[in-house]
């Protein structure tokens, strides 16, 4: 197994860029590092307006990370119906939702102890 040649901050930045490139909305970064027994260091949560946009966001993230950091996700699920796509980069797990599905599950409320940083959209 090769050692990664990038930091978690680098991966965060590239993922955010991938989301913004296809106009993903309501981007939140949940810092889970201070919470015991979490599965990763960060969640990134965003949403699109349709299943087509959710797929486009997920593909953009993967393409950006692959191109810039030469990294592939450990696991991806949810692309079939594209209501909630999960992209697992081990230290960072990305959740791409359709807006109504994000509101229904309200993941942010489940991680109330996490420090949340919201990214202002550029559009």
- pLDDT per position as a tens digit, 32-68: 999 998 989 999 999 999 999 999 999 999 999 999 9
- Say yes or no to pLDDT of 95 above 70: yes
Confidence of residue 1 (pLDDT cuts 50, 70, 90): very low
Distance between alpha carbon 61 and the CA centroid of its chain, in Å?
8
- Say yes or no to pLDDT of 120 above 90: no
Confidence of residue 104 (pLDDT cuts 50, 70, 90): very high
- Tokens of residue 57, six digits: 């966001």
pLDDT of residue 122: 63
Confidence of residue 3 (pLDDT cuts 50, 70, 90): low
Q: Kindly list the strands in the beta sheet with 75-77, ordered across the sheet, starting from the edge strand earlier in the chain.
A: 75-77, 84-88, 92-98, 42-48, 25-31, 115-119
Cβ-count burial of 4 within 10 angstroms (0-12 exposed, 13-18 middle, 19+ buried)?
middle
CATH 3.30.460.10 fits 8-119, yes or no: yes
pLDDT of residue 121: 72
Q: What's the distance, Cα to Cα, between the start and end of the chain in Å?
A: 40
Spans of all domains in the chain: 8-119
Instruction: Summarize the confidence of residues 18-35 as an average pLDDT.
Output: 96
Residue located via tokens 């450990």: 74
Secondary structure string (H, E, C) spanning 80-116:
CCCCEEEEECCCEEEEEEEHHHHHHHCHHHHCCCCEE
Its pTM stands at 0.92
């Amino acid at each position: 197994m090769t050692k990664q040649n990038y930091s978690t901050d680098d991966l965060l930045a590239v993922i955010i860029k991938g989301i913004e490139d296809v106009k993903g909305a309501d981007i939140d970064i949940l810092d889970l590092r201070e919470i015991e027994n979490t599965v990763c260091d960060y969640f990134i949560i965003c949403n699109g307006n349709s299943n087509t946009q959710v797929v486009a966001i997920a593909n953009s993230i993967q393409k950006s990370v692959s191109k810039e950091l030469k990294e592939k996700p450990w696991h991806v699920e949810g692309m079939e119906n594209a209501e909630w796509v999960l992209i697992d980069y081990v230290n960072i797990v990305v959740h791409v939702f359709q807006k109504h599905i994000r509101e229904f599950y309200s993941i942010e409320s489940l991680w109330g102890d996490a420090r949340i940083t919201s990214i202002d959209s550029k559009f």
